[in-house]
Amino acid sequence: MTAIEIARRMAELQRSAEAQKAYQLTVYENNGQNPSEDMEAAVYLLQSGADYRLPYTIFQRLYNQGQFQKDCLSIMTEAFYKPNVKKLKKTYTENCKLLKAYPYLFYKDFPLFDELPIRFYPYDDNGYTPFYVEQKRFGDYIDFKSPVISRNFFKHLDDPILSSDVYSQYELEYLVDNVRRSEDIGRENHIYLHYTDWRMFCAHLQCLDVRPLLVDKKIVFLIGNEISQYPIDFKERYGIDYSVYPVKPVGVREVKRLIWHTQLSSHNGGDFFNEIFDGHPNLIVMPSIFMKDVTSRSIELRGLMEASSDYDTAALLFRAWEPHIIRELFELKDPTDKDFFSAVYLGSRIYNASVDHAARIVPALFFQPHFGNLSYTMSADEAGNTVLHSKQYDSIANSQIFKYFKYIKTFTPMRRITTSYGGAMRFMWAFPGKTDEDRKGTVVGDQIADKLLNRSFMIDPEDRLYKDSVLVRFEDGKLNPKAVFTALAAFLDLPYTESMTYCSLRGKRNPVSMKGNDLGFDTAGVYRTYDEYINDAERYFVEYFMRDAYEYYSYGFQWYDGKPMDEARIVELVDQFTTSNHYISESWKKNVLKEVTVEKDGEPVSEELAEESRAEFLKQKMDAIRQRRINIGKALLRGLHFVNKNGQPLRMMPLLKLDPELLEQPLYH
């Protein structure tokens, strides 16, 4: 029997659960090629109480294909539109009332609700599918609150912000929250929103909430040909002279935007990106900060502020800060961790030095929380899917700092993984700038295992912190800086400024971020292979088990030859990891074991017995490392498929797209 026959038989027998499964299978097998069976399946699934999303999608697709249009539209309207139309109409009526009283919307002829050119059919708690009445078609799903800034609103700050047809609630609130008031910067600074079609603008008022957008009267709405009025001379037209207002320094609660520069892993060129953004007039940039220090510092500052009985005491305790920041923080009734975090940035005369407080927008905070190492573990869920875990990432996800920022843009630098591996090995072994005394107790970690498990370039589609994220290759930044940083500025919604054409730290050009690192745009780090720290077998192993990342992010294979892998080959390769084994074992001997006193019955044993004991300990350690590598290889051999805690597949972080016209050199592969 076919799936449709099974479905019909189960329906006859009133075995709805089995019938639903069979009808779902029918739809998947049809793949859109049998409209009649799809229609039958959709009707049954909807009537029998199955998950509504599949029949909803089928009815919408069939309608757009010209199949059963009358029935599909009737069912969609009765099942999904009419139960929600009262709410939509109420929202539209309230928005129209508010806008009729708003001084900077000059077009007031609102159409009746039933005359609107779009009907919005709710799909889930977050979004709608629009039905374009005159075109007789369903459009794509829209989530008006999707936390994504889709365009470069702040590309040019010489003139007031102007943007067309912005229908995202999230983006509208973003503009209002991040464009400073005219009174705060001493010049006209309204947000000009141009809508090309009045009726389409009104149609979206069913779903938007304009109330929070109108409070400060920052927005000027321009409809159609009214674009010719941009920008309005407020002094001439309204008698408002903003030039009489002094520039007001940016306050703690004004800052709502965070740019999270993530640490993909160690030695990915993160310092290089920090140095590019240093000195940007619309950013407050600090160098990498250990996440544990951020947390402890917040606790410390909160304790000091709570211990301040009056402003004078607070001013004394925080005397290194800007006075207006001290006063604001002192007067806040319920300061959050995010408030203290922002105050550290804004209060610092060092990191605040390049910020343009007279700029049209509030500066964003540029934050790279740092970890000594990012470690991941694997587990299997009930369905046998592989789930990744990282305590370091959990500390970010659970941080009150991140939770309180309303707007977060995330970008992740990536460096060729074998090169990053070699750099990490070099650092752990050489420990640049440190003495033998400093090295005591430190060992070279198993970077191969760490690299294979660290797949933080794969993102959870349900994770808020990665909703608006992009990955940028270190090699591109070095070889094609203009193309990369123009594109990255656009993604981060910043102007591309002169400060992004050189590397600096606190204003000093081409700083030495770490002994032995390359300065500025020196491309040596792109081609350095670290041959003394990584051998060919290790490179082969890394490339094979990271082949999806290599392919997706356009890194050509240099050692992996395309041959299949099996368990015997895994063991063969692992036993050739002589270079990493050398540095791991030598670091244990040099920095740990030689300091260990071996005793028996409370008395030190002879040096010969002590050496034997140390050697046996080290052998067990290296055997465990070998076995762990083999186990990881065998686990990954099942497939490079990973899911989140809810079983949803992880996906690759999007790669930053570059303008081919701006490329100075061929793209690195």
List, for residues 510-524, the tens digit of each pLDDT value: 887 666 677 889 898
- With 0-12 / 13-18 / 19 or more C-beta atoms within 10 angstroms meaning exposed / middle / buried, residue 355 is buried
pLDDT range class, residue 196, cuts 50, 70, 90: very high
pLDDT range class, residue 636, cuts 50, 70, 90: very high
pLDDT range class, residue 539, cuts 50, 70, 90: very high
pLDDT above 90 as % of the chain: 69
pLDDT range class, residue 669, cuts 50, 70, 90: very high
Q: What are the extents of the domains in the chain? A: 1-67, 82-248, 252-528+655-662, 563-649
Least confident of 380-394, 433-447, 651-665: 433-447
Please say whether the beta carbons of 344 and 297 come within 8 A: yes
Give the DSSP letter string of 395-432. HHHT-HHHHH-SEEEEEEEE--HHHHHHHHHHHHHH-T
Which of 101-105, 333-337, 348-352 has the largest mean confidence?
101-105
pLDDT range class, residue 59, cuts 50, 70, 90: very high
Q: Cβ neighbours of residue 513 under 8 Å, at least 6 residues apart? A: 271, 272, 275, 505
- Pick 21 or 390 by higher pLDDT: 21
- Pick 397 or 54 by higher pLDDT: 54
Determine the pLDDT at residue 578.
96
Determine the pLDDT at residue 628.
95
Which of 1-5, 502-506, 576-580, 647-651 has the largest mean confidence?
576-580
Mean residue pLDDT of the chain comes to 91
Residue 266 has pLDDT above 80, yes or no: no
Residue 593 has pLDDT above 90, yes or no: no
Residue 497 has pLDDT above 90, yes or no: yes
**Sheet of 137-138: strands edge to edge?**
118-122, 128-132, 137-138
Question: For residue range 73-103, what is the model confidence (pLDDT) as tens digits?
Answer: 999 999 999 999 999 999 999 999 999 999 9
pLDDT range class, residue 595, cuts 50, 70, 90: low
Candidates 275, 221, 352; CA nearest to 512 is 275
Determine the pLDDT at residue 538.
96
What average pLDDT does this structure show over 536-541? 96
Rounded to two decimals, the pTM is: 0.92
- Pick 611 or 558 by higher pLDDT: 558
Give the span between the Cα atoms of 245 and 139, in whole angstroms: 47
**The two three-digit tokens of residue 539, written as one number:** 């490179």
Question: For residue range 144-161, what is the model confidence (pLDDT) as tens digits?
Answer: 999 999 999 999 999 999
Candidates 287, 182, 248; CA nearest to 504 is 287
Residue 235 has pLDDT above 60, yes or no: yes
Residue 249 has pLDDT above 70, yes or no: yes
Report the sign of the C-alpha dihedral through residues 330, 331, 336, 342, in that order.
negative
Is the backbone peptide bond immediately before 103 cis, with ω within 30 degrees of 0? no
Least confident of 139-148, 200-209, 235-244, 526-535: 526-535
Determine the pLDDT at residue 296.
82
Determine the pLDDT at residue 209.
98
Stated as kind and residue range, the H or E segment containing 515 is none
Candidates 42, 29, 129, 147; CA nearest to 80 is 129
Least confident of 209-223, 327-341, 572-586: 327-341
Work out the number of other CB atoms within 10 angstroms of the CB of residue 12: 9
Looking at CATH, the fold of the domain delimited by 252-528+655-662 is given as Rossmann fold (3.40.50)
Determine the pLDDT at residue 602.
64
**The two three-digit tokens of residue 74, written as one number:** 């009737």
Please say whether the beta carbons of 472 and 414 come within 8 A: yes
Residue 409 has pLDDT above 70, yes or no: yes
**The two three-digit tokens of residue 237, written as one number:** 């037209």
399-405 contacts, C-beta under 8 A, 24 or more apart: 399/291, 399/295, 399/337, 400/336, 400/337, 400/338, 401/294, 401/298, 401/337, 401/338, 401/341, 402/258, 402/260, 402/465, 403/338, 404/336, 404/337, 404/338, 404/339, 405/256, 405/257, 405/258, 405/338
Question: For residue range 100-130, what is the model confidence (pLDDT) as tens digits?
Answer: 999 999 999 999 999 999 999 999 999 999 9
Residue 498 has pLDDT above 70, yes or no: yes
